[in-house]
Structure 1
């Protein structure tokens, strides 16, 4: 059932992507857009710096959550390794690698605690993205309604999950609730939330810079809103880097602000290309700093189809 709820929407999104590609992909237009972007090297550098800073903030939030038991460098390395793996493999397993790197490089944190922190911060990421999206829907006067069934289904899923954990794994649930309370106690919790929130604000830098270079009309707040919808859609990722998901959701988001489909699709392809390029360049750097072989990564990922046989 869990696989159906993920794979069903994922395949529908890919069908939308194929439709958009067949009808609105223009190779000359995309190449022209990329060329125009590289004609603004200063803007390009600023875009990547802002994008990199967004990951630095995520690393800082992770360090705060762990109450200083991990080095900032380890947190950042783990996040960038996760980014690279998610842009190489068709399923999102980068978080498992991220947790393992933390537990191996900084032995003050065991793997269970590292994985717990990754899961909690991933949930916080999604809550921040939802918060930005809801704020955008209210503040930007966007005409859109959430389907009631999705809210009901999500609530039921959460209740069932917590009930199963409470009944069959009470010690596990109690241990992780304790870790959660300890991390979010006092000002530390507020700092984690604010740092995570602003990391997603900065992540809109790639999209904002691209629209600027292509002389599009999109405010910074509209950019952050569009980026948040797009990233939230990556929960249905079944392709490397969310190819198809990213383009479909960004075309939808830009369409809310009056972008024609062909223009929105072109912007989506260019910004996704830039993110892929960044993930590979950052990945090359972290591999040089802290080399981990692909064989070792395969041994870390305990998921069917990826696990070493």
Structure 2
């Protein structure tokens, strides 16, 4: 359109195209300058006037640089020079609008790009923090059990050395399995139950005939996944409530069932209402598991506890969906 205007005014195509080419090339470089400037400088609130002033300055530079180049190329054409001078204001306004438009688009683009980068960095930082907290929670579960086991072994060495030797082997197998599972956040139910059995064997050596366990698994649940080493602290909590304040036999039941979208774990233990008052989330075990489930699934309703008819019940629902999308 720019070249056509000069052609209609009686100038030849050469003059019209030269005027258009020079103006557009210099305008392109002016837009490139403002775009690259905003790439490294994003004005804060109340500083957009700086961008407007920068666009006005670039528009002025573009107008007068274009005039100088065109007059140099066109020679001594007074008619063209007269029309060029009369059109400087219009050229300046058009240049300002185009450069300002480039500045606006650049600001929006780089602002969105920076926001995405910030969100990604924030997500990465939160992921690292979450993984660190999960690791810390998992590490805190073992010392308590390990100290109790070592105390029991110490007590057995003098009186029942064979049982102490058996318990040492069982503890070794359990800790070896724990190290192997530390690499995986999720494991299959069958694998978790096998690991739990090692823990139960150790506890049965500690408590002898007083501890009985029932482990029930619904058919078809073997391949469902759950957070690694989540059952052991649940059962440890049940043993704590069930055996520590009684001298009789106690049965701890562990049940795994499947419902649409969930693997449901239920741990039950009897308790003496006169000596134990179970509370929701009592002890580090349940508190740590609640926190771990929240970090993994972003939900606070996956662990429930209840006490009824002298039976303390802990229920955990493990969602069964793509774990890779939980971030």
Is the TM-score greater than 0.5?
no
User: More helix per residue: 1 or 2?
Assistant: 1
| Structure with larger Rg | 2
TM-score of the pair, normalised by structure 1? 0.22
Q: Give the structure with the larger strand fraction.
A: 2
